[in-house]
Amino acid sequence: MKRATLVSTTSGYNLGLHKMGTWLDEHGWTVTYSCEAIDAPADLYAFSVIFSWDLPNLFRQVAWVKQLGDVAIGGPACTYNASLIESITGVKPHIGPDWRFEEQPGEYRLLRTTRGCPGGIAGPCYACPVPRMDGTRVRLLSYSLPITTNCGIVDDNI
């Protein structure tokens, strides 16, 4: 059985990694979540980088594990830092949502309701990464609301 270590470079809950983990589990992988990649030996190390200030942590961890297994990198910070990430790690990061995982059913602590934002009257907001990551067309996600408690909502348009 293949082993995957899913690493969030930001502390706290990471919706994208948990959706990926559910998808990998359904495809026969043993999944471990970690804040430090070196803590769990794996065939695949998948990193999610939410904020650009976490890039040094990403670079340090990828340097540790890239000889041990395959490396995948994604998350919002990749949108504006893809070239830098690839030049330092040697791994081309995924930009934008990975549709294999985006609508993965499961029990999650966050719920994303839409992707994309058309911006204001004059177009996309100056510093907002959403149109670049998710496009300017609002896409209502088709999966149903989870039956759970204490679930936060994530939405580009609220």
DSSP letter for each residue of 89-124: HS-PPP-S--HHHHT--S--SEEE-EE----BTTBS
Please state the rounded mean pLDDT for residues 66-76.
93
User: Sorting pLDDT into bands at 50, 70 and 90, what band is 107?
Assistant: confident
- The distance from CA 83 to its chain's CA centroid, rounded to whole angstroms, is 17
pLDDT of residue 94: 94
Give 114-130 pLDDT, tens digit per residue. 777 777 666 667 777 77
Asked if 33 contacts 17 with a C-beta cutoff of 8 angstroms, the reply is yes
> What is d(CA 143, CA 140) in angstroms, rounded to the nearest whole number?
9
pLDDT of residue 25: 95
> What is d(CA 136, CA 116) in angstroms, rounded to the nearest whole number?
5
| Gyration radius (Cα) of the chain, Å | 16
> What is d(CA 142, CA 59) in angstroms, rounded to the nearest whole number?
35
The answer to whether the pTM exceeds 0.75 is: yes
Question: Quick check: helix, strand or coil at residue 108?
Answer: coil
> What is d(CA 1, CA 57) in angstroms, rounded to the nearest whole number?
29
Q: Which residues pair with 5 in a beta bridge?
A: 32, 45
Mean residue pLDDT across the chain: 84
> What is d(CA 10, CA 43) in angstroms, rounded to the nearest whole number?
22
Q: Which of 26-35, 89-98, 120-129 has the lowest mean pLDDT?
A: 120-129
